[in-house]
């Protein structure tokens, strides 16, 4: 499922209108001055580039989007190019996010889109796509925004998406989730995280970077079905070596939220109950942490 990701459904509210950020970005007259893959005018009859391309570096991202900027940064944001196209009174905005790696682009998409969106390169859900049409290819995450959500603009959005895909570098096939055991894994439930912003959307262990990922180390999560029909979430975080994993394990123990109770512990793991009266287990296994949360019954250590 995750090996070839092109078109996806993604709805997110951006914090600032295009016209409000013109003075907060670096403007350029040509795409050669930027890392932009924006098509010229004429990608569809009557549509023309209406503005200079705007360029946002890391510190400037907070001036353009509100709420998702921290997550972008955590996954590895490089820069953003923005431009606006128009035809009469209609407007489309193209945003090209350059990320550190294909894993960074995929991780951000999965975290923001949730677990039940279609990732098969299909544009079948037009009711969602009419607001934003995303493209993921290689290390690039692209959004085509139709702020009014008018369905009649979908052909133009698809035409623009097609031209963008042609200009983006080809992406490699990812094997990002091979670390997760396949048995009993719920289809399309996989997520990636690289720090507390993303992790807290899966489970809150405590405050700060409890797993010591430092916005560098990817963790992988997925939902599983137990033999009794109950579900739980499994997280696996691979570190550079056993010492780094042990440091992260000790920090996790020391940083647990006060509403969580450690039930049992040894040098290689511990079990706990959480604020939802469910249970979990964390194990140190060589150079990785293996954690299960949302368990219905207390696990054995």
- 221: nearest Cα among 158, 174, 276, 289: 289
The Cα 142–Cα 37 span in angstroms is: 10
Which residues have a Cβ under 8 Å from the Cβ of 208 and sit 6 or more positions away?
196, 255
The token duo for 277 is: 């009266």
Residue whose structure tokens are 């133009």: 156
Residue whose structure tokens are 């396949």: 182
The token duo for 96 is: 């090209």
Residue 222 DSSP SS3: strand
pTM over 0.95: no
Give the mean pLDDT per block of 10 residues along the chain (301 residues).
Answer: 32 32 35 61 95 84 83 94 95 95 92 52 62 89 92 95 91 85 94 96 96 98 93 98 98 95 96 96 98 96 90
Residue whose structure tokens are 């090209």: 96
The token duo for 100 is: 């550190």
The pLDDT score that the predictor gives to residue 188 is: 87
The Cα 79–Cα 36 span in angstroms is: 10
The pLDDT score that the predictor gives to residue 123 is: 46
The Cα 293–Cα 301 span in angstroms is: 14
């Amino acid at each position: 499922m995750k090996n070839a990701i092109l078109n996806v459904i993604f709805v997110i509210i951006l914090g600032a209108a295009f016209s409000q950020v013109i003075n907060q970005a670096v403007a350029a007259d040509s795409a050669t001055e930027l890392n932009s893959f924006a098509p010229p005018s004429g990608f569809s009859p009557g549509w023309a580039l209406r503005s200079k391309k705007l360029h946002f570096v890391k510190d400037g991202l907070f001036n353009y989007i509100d709420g998702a900027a921290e997550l972008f940064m955590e996954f590895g944001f490089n820069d953003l190019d923005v431009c606006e196209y128009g035809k009469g009174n209609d407007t489309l905005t193209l945003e090209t996010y350059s990320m550190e790696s294909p894993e960074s682009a995929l991780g951000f998409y999965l975290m923001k889109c949730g677990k039940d969106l279609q990732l098969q390169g299909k544009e079948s859900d037009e009711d969602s796509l009419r607001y934003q049409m995303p493209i993921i290819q290689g290390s690039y995450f692209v959004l085509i925004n139709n702020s009014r959500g008018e369905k009649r603009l979908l052909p133009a959005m698809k035409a623009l998406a097609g031209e963008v895909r042609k200009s983006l570098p080809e992406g490699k096939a990812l094997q990002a989730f091979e670390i997760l055991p396949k048995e009993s894994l719920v289809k399309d439930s996989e997520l990636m995280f690289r720090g507390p912003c993303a992790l807290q959307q899966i489970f809150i262990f405590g405050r700060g970077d409890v797993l010591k990922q430092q916005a560098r180390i990817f963790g992988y999560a997925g939902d599983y079905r137990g033999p009794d029909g109950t579900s739980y979430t499994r997280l696996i975080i691979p570190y550079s070596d056993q010492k780094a994993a042990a440091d992260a394990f000790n920090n996790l123990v020391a940083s647990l939220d006060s509403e969580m109770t450690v039930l049992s512990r040894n040098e290689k793991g511990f079990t706990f109950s959480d604020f939802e009266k469910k249970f979990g287990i964390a194990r140190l296994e060589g150079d990785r942490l293996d954690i299960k949360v949302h368990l219905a019954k207390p696990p054995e250590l």
